[in-house]
Amino acid sequence: MHFVIMGCGRVGASLAKALDGAGHSVAVVDRDPDAFLKLGRDFSGSTITGIGFDRETLTQARTADAYAFAAVSSGDNSNILAARVARETFGVTNVAARIYDPHRAQVFERLGIPTVPTVRWTAEQVMRKLVPQGSITEYREPSGKLVLAEVHLDPGWVARPIKQIEDATKARVAYLTRLSSGVVAHDDLLIQDGDLVHLMCPVGRLGEIEKILDEPPAEVMEEE
């Protein structure tokens, strides 16, 4: 798949190298040509010097062919503008924008641009936004037996109650992140599009739970 990354700082470079190492096609955009030195000699993708929300620059980066676009420069406004241009002009479905000001997050997410506050922003978090699947471990309790993980949900779980997730996985949903704010989970709370689900379970069952939630609920599959 082809990925376009705007910003070649620490996170952008780490993400680009990870995607390149996984065999994907990667184009990195940055206004400072010296920033590309962070990619190292083994990077086989392309580099484009220019402004990340400029249409000509994004065309050079083959944004129209991109599976996903990540805006991880040092400016909130530039990141959001670039992400919107990638989605609305070039038709990229999977976009993510780095954000420094958490108070803006709800506004940006209402525009359909997934964001993560910079304190949590790592290459792993970006990858999760661009290619949602599996889980991200957030905490392990001292004995190492239990893990709190952010898990990916198939879209078929939207509008389903928390209790249905817990019944299907035999695990406990600790809380949701909705529009960048934490929401305490309860049985009747319905999943909304864009929610992040944080689930506590035994370490050894995480892989099994990922497989369950990466598919629609059983009754939806039966109806199909």
Q: pLDDT tens digits for 39-80?
A: 989 999 999 999 988 999 999 999 999 999 999 888 888 888
**CA 57 – CA 90 distance, rounded (Å):** 12
For residues 19 and 82, the answer to whether their CB atoms sit within 8 Å is no
Looking at residues 81-95, what average pLDDT do you find?
A: 91
Q: Using the 8-state DSSP alphabet, how is residue 191 labeled?
A: P
pLDDT, averaged across the chain: 85
Residue 162 confidence (pLDDT): 96
* pLDDT value at residue 223: 47
Q: What pLDDT does residue 24 have?
A: 92
- Quote the strand ranges of the chain, DSSP E: 2-6, 25-30, 46-49, 68-71, 94-99, 115-117, 135-140, 146-151, 172-178, 181-184, 196-202
Which own/partner contact pairs does 74-78 have at CB distance under 8 Å and 24+ positions apart?
A: 74/7, 74/9, 74/100, 76/100, 76/101, 76/104, 78/6, 78/51, 78/52, 78/53
What percentage of residues in the chain have a pLDDT greater than 70? 82
The pTM assigned to this predicted structure is 0.59
Rounded to the nearest 5 degrees, what angle is found at the Cα of 72, between the Cα atoms of 50 and 85? Answer: 60
Q: Which residue has the tokens 């805006």?
A: 71
The answer to whether the CB of 76 falls within 8 A of the CB of 100 is: yes
Contact 128, 68 (CB under 8 A): no
